Structures are given as structure tokens and as C-alpha cells.
Structure 1
Amino acid sequence: MKGDYRSGGVLIIFLFQFFLSLHSVIGWGEWDSVSCYTCGITTIDPENDEEGSYGTDPGENKKMYNHSCDLMDNGLGGNYRFAGQELEPRDWVEKIEHTEPKLDENGTAITVCKEEVLDTNGTVIEEARCDPVFRNWTETRKRPPKSYDMTMWVRKCPEGVRSCFKAQGNWDEQKPVFRGCSESKYAHGTTCKRELKAVRINPAAPLVDVEVYLCYCSSDNCNIEINSGNPLRVDGASLLTVIATVLIILFITEE
């Protein structure tokens, strides 16, 4: 067992509730805020932002940013098989109508013949003719896969939010990634910080260092990758929010 979830349960539950309270948003609309790539935080759910907006079928104006950043990063890397979207759903087909002559067992076209028609004076009013018999059938053919839709990972941030973040945790060979909207309603600029937190996983064991690398940027959809040598100046609540999230994921998923 890499980490003892039970021994740290009280701390994890507190952090989870704290994080959830910070991200509670009532209603959603076209207000003034940035949009950010969002992933890795299950409490940030499209259905909570706007009912009926969740889905994994691209091209349907749906959102899936409550899923893991592993899926999003697979989509960015072209590994679509493990990127979470339904690019070839079962009903993604086209129906093609066909009409062709019917053939007998010898391969000869089957015909239906009519004799000529005469009027009462013996005049031909309709010529004798033979018409081929046709059969109609429908072919169901798979369509080419849909294009991967990165906009499904984009979230309109709460009103007034000016920055996006990307964070990566590091503990015991685990390096989960998180992306989302900053909680602060001011622009951080492009800044990064490495934060090392001592956490007691087991009451009988010494503290362990959990590393969180956190970056901010302040434009729409800027947080796929953020690289900056600028020091991060961020209020304590925002930093605690991200660190809490990383700790939850690191320890709540332990076997």
C-alpha cells in the first residue's frame, strides 16, 4: 500500500469539502471571464455548470471537462483510442440506397413482358415490351471517424475570473495533472511556483514531502502548457485550493 487513506481520511475529507465549497457556482451565463482548459477535477462538472451539457460525442456542443487530464493529453497527442471521446459510435453510419436488376440463377436479368394492346379497330395503342425487374436495397456503411474536439475540454470560468492554471503533483512516482479556472478575480499574468508540502500520511510514520508545481496564465485557453520563470504571487486561498486537489487525488486513489 503506497499510502494509507484511512489514516489521512479526516484531512482528505476536510480538504475535499473545502475545495468543493470554493468551486460552487449557481447558474451559468455569458459573462465577462476567461475560458480555460479544464480537467482532472471531478467536482467541476459540466452538468453543474449547465444542465444537459455533458457528453462525450464530439460535434454535439457537449462538454467533458470533469474527466482526467490523461484523457485530454492523449487527445492532444493524437492517441484518440484512449482520449475519452466517441469518435466512432455505433450509430455513426450512413445509409446508401441501391437499385439494380434482378437476376435469375443463370445470371440473366429477369424481365416482365406485356403483349401489345389493340383498340376495337385493331389499331395498336400500346406496343409489346419487356421491362427489367429491379430490386431495391439499403447498404449501411460506417462513416470516417469524427475529428477529436478539444473544445469539449474548455470551460467558461465563473464570472470575473481572469486566469487559468495548470498544476502537477508529485508523490511516490505519481504525477497527476490538473487544469482549470483560477479562483481569484484578478489576472495573475504568466507565473509559476513549485510548492513543497510536508504531509503525514500515517500517524505512525514521518512526514512525507508532496510537491506541487503550479502555473497561471491570463488569456483564453492558455493552460495546455505554461512555461515561465517569473515567480508566482498568488493569494493563499487559491494556492491551497490547488494543493488540496492534488492531495485528494494522490491519496484517495491509493490501493
Structure 2
Amino acid sequence: MISMIRVYISLIASGLFIGLAVSEQALQCIACGLSQVDPNNDVFGSYGTGSGKKRYNHTCEEYEQGEAAQFPFLRSCPSGVQSCFYITGKYKDVEINFRGCANAKYPHDFGCDRELQAVNVLDRRGLSTQVDVEVNICFCNTVNCNNQMSEADPIRAQAFTMLLILIIFLATYQ
């Protein structure tokens, strides 16, 4: 029993070590909805709608409509970026979604905040007016963690995975 505990502890420690090693590589986040983030600026010639091409400057609606492969929307973040974000906003009947790499070089606290933000919009006459937009912004710090930020808690999912590994391990070596 003590040897199994030692093996389990070393599995956890190696998992933490691997997690640290992965975190030193470029973070990858799902990116969509930000037209100014051009894949060609990251890797020249990478933008396109064909196989193997990136299009994370397209709308999140395209990503969310059952995109078979998430590859076109997977972005390697700029060096030093440590967090992904997922933003949803609502004004009247209009909903917006953005996903991407946070610009800060420090990890944001995991979680979501909801608030009203004053935003300038153009009215029908082309005049700028300020309106309140309900915004929900979420931050996370692991690869592709902003894929389902609004629907699932990645920390709980990771804990469930570790528990499942432990159960399989104990069932195998008992």
C-alpha cells in the first residue's frame, strides 16, 4: 500500500513537472472574432480557408457552428502571454463573442466577471452615442482553456481526470 502511495505521489509530481514544462512553451488559445489579429502576421502565408490554413480572424460564429477541426482557430500566443480569454457581450438583440490570447505578460486570475461597460456605437445617422453593453469576460491559463469557458469549469475537469487516473491505477495494481 505504501509503495502504491509513493507511485501515486510520483505520478502527481511528474504531472506537475510536465505542466510546468508545457507552460514555458507558447500558450495556445482558441482565437476568433478579432479581425485585427491576422494569422499572416504570426506566420506569413498561414491565412486561408483551405486545409491546414488558419482563420482565427474570422467570427466566433463560424467556429461555434460545429467546426470539425479546431486547428484553423488555434493560435500560438505571442511570447510571454500566459492567459487566454473568452468574452461575450450583449446589447439589445445583438450578441458578440471573442476568444483569444490575453495581451498581458502575467497570468490573469482564473474566472469570469460580468459587468456593464460604456461603449461608443454609431446610430442610424452615423453619430456616435454611448450605450451600456453587458459584458462577461473570462480568463484561464492552460492550452485551449477558452474553448468552453462559459459552459465548463476546467479546474473541475482536470480534478475529475486526475481522479479517474487514480481509480484506473488503483484498479490495475490492486
TM-score bracket for this pair, using the shorter chain length: 0.5 to 0.7
Of structures 1 and 2, the one scoring higher in RCO (CA 8 A, sep 6+) is: 1
**Deviation of 1:222 (Å):** 0.7
**Percent identity, aligned pairs only?**
41
Judged with a 3 Å threshold, the aligned counterparts in structure 2 of structure 1 residues 205 and 187 are, in CA distance, closer, same or farther, namely closer
Would you say the 8 A contact 1:41–1:66 is kept in 2? yes
Q: TM-score when scaled to structure 1? A: 0.45
Q: Could you tell me how far apart the structure 2 residues matched to 1:178 and 1:205 are?
A: 23
Judged with a 3 Å threshold, the aligned counterparts in structure 2 of structure 1 residues 57 and 200 are, in CA distance, closer, same or farther, namely closer
Instruction: Count residues with an aligned counterpart.
Output: 126
Matched, 1:45 2:38: yes
**Deviation of 1:207 (Å):** 4.8
Structure 2 alignment gaps of length 5 or more: 1-23, 154-174
Q: Who is 1:160 aligned against?
A: 80
Q: Who is 2:49 aligned against?
A: 56
Q: Who is 1:71 aligned against?
A: 62
Equivalent residue letter for 1:156 = S
Judged with a 3 Å threshold, the aligned counterparts in structure 2 of structure 1 residues 208 and 220 are, in CA distance, closer, same or farther, namely same
Equivalent residue letter for 2:80 = G
Deviations 1:65-109 (A, max 9, x none): 110000000024xxxxxxxxxxxxxxxxxxxxxxxxxxxxxxxxx
Q: Could you tell me how far apart the structure 1 residues matched to 2:145 and 2:129 are?
A: 39
**Deviation of 1:36 (Å):** 0.3
Q: Who is 1:169 aligned against?
A: 89
Equivalent residue letter for 2:139 = Y
**Deviation of 1:56 (Å):** 1.4
Would you say the 8 A contact 1:32–1:160 is kept in 2? no
Would you say the 8 A contact 1:190–1:226 is kept in 2? no
Matched, 1:184 2:104: yes
Would you say the 8 A contact 1:199–1:208 is kept in 2? yes
Judged with a 3 Å threshold, the aligned counterparts in structure 2 of structure 1 residues 42 and 207 are, in CA distance, closer, same or farther, namely closer
Q: Who is 1:218 aligned against?
A: 141
Specify the structure having the higher radius of gyration (Cα): 1
Q: Could you tell me how far apart the structure 1 residues matched to 2:129 and 2:58 are?
A: 33
Q: Could you tell me how far apart the structure 1 residues matched to 2:94 and 2:33 are?
A: 14
- The structure where helix makes up a greater share of residues is 2
Deviations 1:183-211 (A, max 9, x none): 11122242111121234646x99853111
Q: TM-score when scaled to structure 2? A: 0.64
Equivalent residue letter for 2:75 = R
Question: Where do 1:128-139 residues align within 5 Å?
Answer: none
From 50, 71, 74, give the equivalent of 1:151: 71
Q: Could you tell me how far apart the structure 2 residues matched to 1:216 and 1:73 are?
A: 19
Structure 1 alignment gaps of length 5 or more: 1-30, 77-147, 230-255
